[in-house]
Chains A and B, each alone.
Chain A
Amino acid sequence: MSAVGRRLPAYAALVVMSVISLAPLLWIWSQSFRSSEAIASDPVGVEWPLRFSSYVEAWTQARFSDYLVNSVVVAVGTVAIVVTVALPCAYAISLLRLPASRAILLLILLGLMVPVWSIIVPLFYQMRSLGLVNSLLSAMLIEAALGLPFAVFMLRAFLRELPMDLLEAARIDGAGSLRILWSIVCPIAAPAIQAVVVFQFMWSWNELAVPLFFLQADEVRTLPIGLTFFQGRFDTDTAVLAAGTTMASLPVLLVYLLLNRRFVQGLTTGASK
């Protein structure tokens, strides 16, 4: 087969799959600039000038401004908690030769397999007795506990490859474990930490089950929860729903496009170890 004969189908397949990957999102985004009546009469199309009133309605009447703030707070808080507790833990079980390292790792890996909705009911009563239902902190703590296993696993896989000599040298110079963690391990592990940050942010931003149960009051809802309620309330108003969906999808898309390489790097290092 000639080179062109081989290459053309390959490019065709990639282009078709790219269209499939983007079309559903572009379609929803385009609806947010149209009126529901126009969408009903012609599902695909764009009218000029673009109309922004659906965004105004979503932002003010549907409280999307609040949901956006809540989503940011929960995602950033969860990322902060996960990194702060997972990094020292991964460092301790990978580099400090603890006799219990293996046991700790196995215990934490168990969390990768437990479905969140199987622990939701007890968690709900636990949070209620702590007075944390409808507080953003509850979602952060639970999402952090759920994200911890992946973070520890990933960081450990990376830290295990560090040269022990370097740490030995620092120790002989009198540096304590915390000091070594901060001034040697942190800078070297920066790529792995960034990958954890990116993934945890995405998961937390997209999380449905946890905020669905723990952030039920309107003023603490995150974007995905806001959207599901919105879907029930504005069922006929396709344009406003599309505007809300667009607002929920753009921030994570932006993070992805900016830190694209971290996503890829995280998945490839995580997978090969």
Chain B
Amino acid sequence: MTVDLGATTTSQAAPDEPRRRAGSRRRELASGYALAVPALVLYAAFMLWPISQTLWLSFTNWNGLTSSPTWAGLDNYRRLVGDDRFYNGLLNNLYWVIGSWLAQGLGLLLAALLSAQWIRGRTLFRTILFVPATMALVVVGIAWEQIYSPGDGLLNTALSAVGLDSLSRGWLADESTAMSAVIATANWTYYGFAMVVFLGGLQAIDRHLYEAAAMDGAGAWSQFRHITVPGLRNQITLLLVVSFINTLRTFDLVYVMTNGGPGEATEVVAYHVYALAFVTRQVGYGAAAAVVLTVVILVATTIFLWLREKDS
């Protein structure tokens, strides 16, 4: 994703009618800003203003109930630095980010298969494989919670059908498998998205490159490395950035499937913030955790996009 933020081309004013031009340019500017205003008002009221409020709350102590927050300076941030539960959440988020790369890889593989010229039923496969990506995470969470359930879940039933009874367990209740089980569920909703994005990129790669490479004796792997991957650079960047942002702010599946448990085994930062603000009523402290994670996302995304742009 090359984010070209440059302004659009500027036109050359005709020398013979400078005044009329200046007048119409002024009108164009005025109407232009007028057209942008509704979006900016909505955005300022329900995004920028609450962001500024969160920032302010992070420097206060507040239980969310009494009349007003009290100023706490940097106390919340100091406390965060030594809070193991915050790091636990952050680590679970990072595990989730890395786990999601499996889904991106699977998406690439599926896209490569579907773009083979001899494949029949391409549209049907593509349509089916994208279905999980359209589902509400609440629906997904409820379905997979039952798949993982200890007694009669689909996973345990399948395992015992192939004689692997010894592996069956309550997948979400076991501390050693709970996080992986939630990430696998998330991945189920990710690969279709990656596949469709990659398919679009593959269509744009010139077929002749592959033919020429094959004539030069390049094997499938070499073609993949030297033609496919460079041809998909934009898509790979986009997916890495999008999946990074989305996995760091993920909340829904944890809320529906485990509530962060067992213990804090599946607690991600988003769920921690939620618990701080609405369960233990430490609004200021929760705000500080939210600010830190937002800054992490912002900084990492900016560096990533900047490196990418410098590279190309």
CB–CB A113/B294 < 8 A: yes
A144 to B38 CA separation, bound complex (whole angstroms): 12
Given known pairs A111-B47, A268-B197, the reply for A121 and B57 (CB within 8 Å) is yes
Indicate which residue in B24, B40, B200 contacts A171 across the interface (CB closer than 8 Å): B24
Chain A 126-163, CB-CB to B under 8 Å as 1, else 0, gives 10000000000000011011101000100000001000
Interface residue? B105 (CB, 8 A)? no
A171 to B31 CA separation, bound complex (whole angstroms): 13
Indicate which residue in A92, A260, A271 contacts B32 across the interface (CB closer than 8 Å): A92
Interface residue? B209 (CB, 8 A)? no
Given known pairs A14-B125, A145-B45, A271-B234, the reply for A113 and B36 (CB within 8 Å) is no
Interface residue? A202 (CB, 8 A)? yes
CB–CB B142/A272 < 8 A: no
Interface residue? A61 (CB, 8 A)? no
Stretch at the interface among B71-79, B221-229, B284-292: B284-292
A231 to B106 CA separation, bound complex (whole angstroms): 32
Chain B binding surface SS class: helix
Indicate which residue in A104, A108, A178, A263 contacts B130 across the interface (CB closer than 8 Å): A263
Interface residue? A186 (CB, 8 A)? no
A142 to B138 CA separation, bound complex (whole angstroms): 19
CB–CB B36/A114 < 8 A: no
CB–CB A21/B142 < 8 A: no
Residue numbers in B under 8 Å from A97 (CB-CB): 7-11, 28, 32
A269 to B33 CA separation, bound complex (whole angstroms): 27
Interface residue? B212 (CB, 8 A)? no
Residue numbers in A under 8 Å from B38 (CB-CB): 84-85, 88-89
Q: Which of B132-160 contact A (CB under 8 A)?
A: 132, 134-140, 142-144, 146-147, 152-154, 157
Indicate which residue in B5, B32, B43, B106 contacts A111 across the interface (CB closer than 8 Å): B43
CB–CB B47/A14 < 8 A: no
Interface residue? B82 (CB, 8 A)? no
Residue numbers in B under 8 Å from A209 (CB-CB): 251-252
CB–CB B286/A121 < 8 A: yes
Residue numbers in B under 8 Å from A92 (CB-CB): 32-33, 35-36
By beta carbon, the residue of chain A nearest B302 is: A113
Interface residue? B273 (CB, 8 A)? yes
Interface size class of B (residues with CB under 8 A): 35 or more
Interface residue? B108 (CB, 8 A)? no
CB–CB A7/B118 < 8 A: yes
CB–CB B46/A145 < 8 A: yes
Indicate which residue in A13, A227, A257, A267 contacts B193 across the interface (CB closer than 8 Å): A267
CB–CB B43/A122 < 8 A: no
Q: Which of A252-267 contact B (CB under 8 A)?
A: 252-253, 256-257, 260, 263-264, 267
Q: Which of B227-281 contact A (CB under 8 A)?
A: 234-235, 238-239, 245, 248-249, 251-252, 255-256, 270, 273-274, 277
Interface size class of A (residues with CB under 8 A): 35 or more
CB–CB A108/B43 < 8 A: yes
CB–CB B8/A263 < 8 A: no
CB–CB A117/B251 < 8 A: yes
Chain B nearest CB, measured from A112 CB (Å): 7
Residue numbers in B under 8 Å from A93 (CB-CB): 36
Given known pairs A91-B35, A114-B51, A268-B200, the reply for A227 and B142 (CB within 8 Å) is yes
Interface residue? A205 (CB, 8 A)? yes
Given known pairs A118-B294, A272-B200, the reply for A27 and B192 (CB within 8 Å) is no
A13 to B38 CA separation, bound complex (whole angstroms): 49
CB–CB B130/A89 < 8 A: no
CB–CB B137/A206 < 8 A: yes
Interface residue? A54 (CB, 8 A)? no
> Other CB < 8 Å A-B pairs besides A44-B157, A268-B200, 13 of them?
A14-B129, A25-B135, A25-B143, A31-B146, A43-B157, A81-B42, A106-B5, A115-B249, A119-B290, A122-B57, A176-B27, A249-B135, A272-B200
A residues apposed to B, CB below 8 Å = 3, 7, 10, 13-14, 17-18, 20-25, 27-28, 31, 39-40, 43-44, 81, 84-86, 88-89, 91-102, 104-123, 126, 141-142, 144-146, 148, 152, 160, 164, 168, 171, 176-178, 181, 202, 205-206, 208-209, 223-224, 227-228, 231, 238, 241, 245, 248-249, 252-253, 256-257, 260, 263-264, 267-273
- 3 closest residue pairs by CB, A with B: A268-B200, A118-B290, A122-B53
28 contacts between A and B (CB under 8 A): A17-B129, A17-B191, A22-B128, A85-B38, A89-B38, A92-B33, A92-B36, A99-B29, A102-B7, A105-B5, A110-B298, A113-B294, A118-B287, A119-B50, A119-B53, A141-B42, A141-B45, A145-B47, A148-B43, A152-B39, A208-B137, A208-B251, A208-B255, A231-B142, A257-B127, A264-B200, A267-B197, A272-B235
